[in-house]
Amino acid sequence: MEPFKWVVTHAALIAPKGDVLDLACGNGRHTRFALDQGFRVMAIDINLTGVEDLLDRTNLAVMETDLEEGFWPLGNAQFDGIIVTNYLHRPLFPHIVGALAPGGVLIYETFMAGNEAYGRPANPDFLLQPNELKDVCKRLDIVAFEQGLEDDDKPAVKQKIVAINRS
């Protein structure tokens, strides 16, 4: 599977050869992309079968854990880039923002309210509210933000942000 255009477009903002977290990595589309760009990658998910073929890569670390168990499994680790796509668990927001190193770049894209008209997810727990990612990133420098209906392959209502930790 191809990486999302949003990720490809903004990945150049991440420090070259930097440490990148692919949070809820799924099938590893963004892990693969980040590795191919020369980043050191930490891929984390509840199930790592989607990245099993990458386990011999020297710039890859993996962690199999349930991110929704109520604790942040990465401690005080910091990353030059954090990529999150098609995943939402609001209690992780402060941890995600806190894991950005100075100059670190957050690239986030997921579904938002209104998507229920086009399919899954439809549960409000998994749909961002309008401008919600802007609120999450209020202490960061927002470089790009989009929200609304996309009609690329399959119609979906999404919200996307790229923000940098300038502190």
- pLDDT at residue number 167: 82
Structure tokens of 94? 């402060």
Look up tokens 């399919």; give the residue: 119
Alpha carbon separation from 31 to 22, 23, 73, 121 (Å, rounded): 6, 9, 18, 23
Q: How is residue 98 written in tokens?
A: 């806190």
Lowest mean pLDDT among 30-39, 116-125, 128-137: 116-125
pLDDT at 152 over 80: no
Give the pLDDT score at 3.
96
- Whether the Cβ atoms of residue 161 and residue 123 lie closer than 8 Å to each other: no
The CATH label, of 3.50.30.30, 3.40.50.150, 3.20.20.70, 3.40.50.720, for the domain at 5-164 is: 3.40.50.150
pLDDT at residue 103 greater than cutoff 90: yes
* pTM of the entire predicted model: 0.96
pLDDT of residue 1: 86
pLDDT, mean over the chain: 96
